[in-house]
Amino acid sequence: MSKVCLVARQGKERKRCYERLLEDYIADFYLVSLRSLNAFERGLFRAHFLEGGDWRVCCRRLRVDRGIFYHAVYHIQQKLGRVFRELRPYSLFPLDEYFAGRIQRPRRRPPVLEMPFPGRSVSLQPPLRKAA
């Protein structure tokens, strides 16, 4: 199921709009991946990472042996990790930087009563009953 979020925009008028933040992230992830991979890597990315195929299925589909498959998987992970990190103006990793456009007002915390910390030699003994 899709989740729609009401997001406040920065600016003078502070308008709000509805966005599908997760779908936007998925689309950016997919499109950046396709742009930065070659044809063989795209096929492997689609079969292994998107469709969830194990190494046997992917090797059969792409007609490669297991060693080449795993070397290609590690190469794709390294290549896309670097691309996601260095992407400008909004990198896809870490996620908090990607979703930083959301404005969240700080929540008020209830007041906390702090009990004074006694010295090490004094033990803390709360009263057991009300003093008369």
Tell me the CA distances in angstroms from 102 to 6, 19, 84, one per residue in order: 10, 11, 20
**What domain range is 72 assigned to?**
23-99
Say what the alpha-carbon torsion angle 50, 54, 56, 60 is, to the nearest 10 degrees. Answer: -10
| Structural domain includes residue 41 | yes
| Structural domain includes residue 36 | yes
The percent of residues in the chain predicted with pLDDT above 70, rounded, is 66
Give the CATH number for residue 35.
1.10.10
Average pLDDT, the chain: 80
For the chain, how many structural domains are there in total?
A: 1
Two tokens, residue 48? 């292994």
Confirm whether pTM is higher than 0.85: no
